C-alpha cells in the first residue's frame, strides 16, 4: 500500500508557496529518476493504482489518506517538500483538488506532473452541477471509467521510466482484467436490487457515475463538491421524497460529516416514516491503510456490496473475494 500523509495545516499563501518551491529547487532541472521511481499522488485511489502497476519499481506516497476530503484539502509544508523530491507527481484533475490547482500548474513548469483524467473522453463525463464548463470529477466510482484512468497512470509511469515500460504494460493488462471482473460482480449483485428500491441517497453527490452505469437514481444532500452547503430547503425536499417514495435506507460517507444524513432521518421520523442508515460508503477516500477496503478494488467491492444488501439485493456479506471486514 502507498503511504499517506493526511495531516492538516494552515495553507501557505501563494507567495509563500512559490518561495518554498524556489527554495526547494523547483527552479532547477530535476535529477534523473532513480529506482524505485518516487511518486507523489494526491488521492488514495491514484496512489493505490500507481503502486499496483509499479510494484517494486516505484515508491508511492498519497497526500490524502483515509477520511480526507479532496475538495477542501490544502497542501501542507510537508506536502511541498514531498512534491519537490518526487520523480513524478500524479493528481486527479477535473477540479477535484480545487485548492491545489494553482500549485500543480506551477509545478508542471519544471517537474513531471500529470492530471490523470485530462485524457478522458469528455463524452464519458457528466456535467458539474455548479460550473457550466466543468465536469463531475468522481470517475473512480465505476471500474469501467477507472480502467481509462488506469491507462493514463500507466502511460505516465512508462514516460517517467521507459526502461521498464514492458513491465508496466504487463501489469496494466493484469490490473484491467481485475477491474473487468470487479465490474462484472458489481453488475450482477446490483441487478438484484428491486426496481422500486434503486434510489441511492448519500451525503453528497459523488455517485452519479455509479448511478448512470448501474441503473440507480442518485440523490445527494450536498452538491458534487462538499464545499457546497446543504440548505434547509434541500433537506426538506429530500425528507418529503423519502416519505412519498417509501425510501427506507440512506447512506453516510467516510469522508463527509453525517450531520445532514441524520437530519434526513429525523425529518422523516417526524412524519412517521422510519429510515435506517444503510451503511457507510467510501466516496472521496478509501478505507484504512493496510485493509482490503484501503485498496481501490476493496473500496468499490465494499460500496457495491453494501448498497446491494441494504437496498434489498443479494450479495455475499464478505464481498466478491470474501475479504470485506477482514482484520
Within the chain, strands assigned E span 3-4, 37-41, 58-62, 88-91, 113-115, 199-204, 217-222, 249-253, 276-281
β-pairing verdict for 3-4 and 58-62: parallel
CB 72 within 8 A of CB 226: yes
pLDDT score, position 19: 43
pLDDT score at 221: 85
Q: How far, CA to CA in Å, does 215 sit from each of 34, 187, 199, 228, 320? A: 46, 9, 9, 26, 20
3-class DSSP state for residue 134? coil
What is the C-alpha to C-alpha distance for residues 86 and 113, in angstroms, rounded to an integer?
10
**Level-2 CATH architecture, domain 3-186:** 3-Layer(aba) Sandwich (3.40)
The strand ranges marked E within 53-209 are: 58-62, 88-91, 113-115, 199-204
Q: What is the full per-residue pLDDT of the chain (327 aa) written as tens digits?
A: 565 544 334 344 444 444 455 444 444 444 444 579 999 999 999 999 999 999 999 999 999 999 888 988 999 999 999 999 999 999 999 999 989 999 999 999 988 999 999 999 999 999 987 777 899 999 999 999 999 999 999 999 999 999 999 999 999 999 999 999 999 999 999 999 999 999 999 987 899 999 999 999 999 887 544 444 556 788 889 999 999 999 999 999 987 878 889 999 999 999 999 999 999 999 999 999 999 999 999 999 999 999 999 999 999 999 999 999 985
Asked if residue 61 lies in contact with residue 5, where contact means CB atoms within 8 angstroms, the answer is yes
Indicate the DSSP class of residue 287. S
Evaluate whether 163 touches 134 at the Cβ level (below 8 Å): no
Cell of 285: 477516500
C-alpha cell at 237: 425536499
DSSP annotation of 195: G
As given in the structure block, the three cell numbers for residue 162 are 521507459
pTM above threshold 0.85: yes
Strand partners, 249: 276
Q: What's the CA gap between 195 and 190, in Å, rounded?
A: 10
pLDDT for 12 equals 47
Same fold for the pair 3-186 and 190-310: yes
- Residue 179 grid coordinates: 477491474
Rounded Cα distance, 297 and 319, in Å: 11
Write a three-state SS string for 209-229: HHHHHHCCEEEEEECCCCCCC
Between CA 63 and CA 43 the distance in angstroms is 7
Q: CB 170: neighbour CB atoms within 10 A? A: 11
So what's the pLDDT on residue 108? 93
Q: Looking at the DSSP assignment, which residues form a beta bridge with residue 224?
A: none
* Partners of residue 89 on adjacent β-strands: 40, 113
Nearest-10 Cα torsion for 20, 25, 28, 33 = -130
Query: Treating both helix axes as pointing N-terminal to C-terminal, what angle do 259-270 and 232-244 enclose, rounded to 10 degrees?
Result: 50
The CATH code belonging to domain 190-310 is 3.40.50.1980
* Per-domain boundaries in the chain: 3-186, 190-310
Amino acid at each position: 500500500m502507498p503511504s499517506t500523509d493526511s495531516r492538516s495545516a494552515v495553507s501557505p499563501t501563494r507567495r509563500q508557496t512559490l518561495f518554498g518551491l524556489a527554495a526547494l529547487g523547483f527552479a532547477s532541472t530535476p535529477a534523473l529518476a532513480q529506482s524505485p521511481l518516487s511518486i507523489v499522488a494526491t488521492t488514495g485511489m491514484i496512489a493505490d493504482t500507481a503502486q499496483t502497476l509499479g510494484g517494486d519499481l516505484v515508491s508511492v506516497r498519497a497526500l490524502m489518506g483515509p477520511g480526507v476530503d479532496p475538495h477542501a484539502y490544502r497542501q501542507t509544508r510537508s506536502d511541498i517538500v514531498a512534491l519537490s523530491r518526487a520523480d513524478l507527481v500524479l493528481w486527479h484533475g477535473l477540479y477535484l483538488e480545487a485548492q491545489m490547482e494553482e500549485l500543480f500548474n506551477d509545478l508542471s513548469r519544471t517537474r513531471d506532473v500529470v492530471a490523470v483524467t485530462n485524457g478522458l473522453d469528455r463524452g464519458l463525463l457528466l456535467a458539474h452541477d455548479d460550473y457550466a464548463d466543468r465536469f463531475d470529477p468522481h470517475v473512480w466510482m465505476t471500474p469501467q471509467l477507472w480502467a481509462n484512468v488506469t491507462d493514463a497512470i500507466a502511460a505516465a509511469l512508462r514516460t517517467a521510466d521507459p526502461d521498464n515500460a514492458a513491465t508496466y504494460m504487463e501489469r496494466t493488462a493484469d490490473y484491467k482484467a481485475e477491474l473487468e471482473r470487479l465490474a462484472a460482480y458489481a453488475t450482477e449483485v446490483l441487478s438484484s436490487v428491486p426496481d422500486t428500491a434503486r434510489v441511492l441517497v448519500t451525503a453528497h453527490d459523488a455517485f452519479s457515475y455509479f448511478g448512470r452505469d448501474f441503473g440507480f437514481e442518485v440523490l445527494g444532500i450536498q452538491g458534487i463538491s462538499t464545499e457546497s452547503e446543504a440548505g434547509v430547503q434541500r433537506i426538506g425536499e429530500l425528507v418529503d421524497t423519502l416519505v412519498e417514495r417509501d425510501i427506507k435506507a440512506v447512506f453516510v460517507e467516510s469522508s463527509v460529516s453525517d450531520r445532514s444524513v441524520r437530519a434526513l432521518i429525523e425529518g422523516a421520523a417526524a412524519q412517521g416514516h422510519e429510515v435506517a442508515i444503510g451503511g457507510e460508503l467510501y466516496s472521496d477516500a478509501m478505507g484504512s491503510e493496510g485493509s482490503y477496503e484501503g485498496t481501490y478494488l476493496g473500496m468499490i467491492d465494499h460500496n457495491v456490496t453494501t448498497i446491494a444488501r441494504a437496498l434489498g439485493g443479494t450479495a455475499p456479506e464478505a464481498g466478491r473475494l470474501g475479504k470485506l471486514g477482514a482484520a
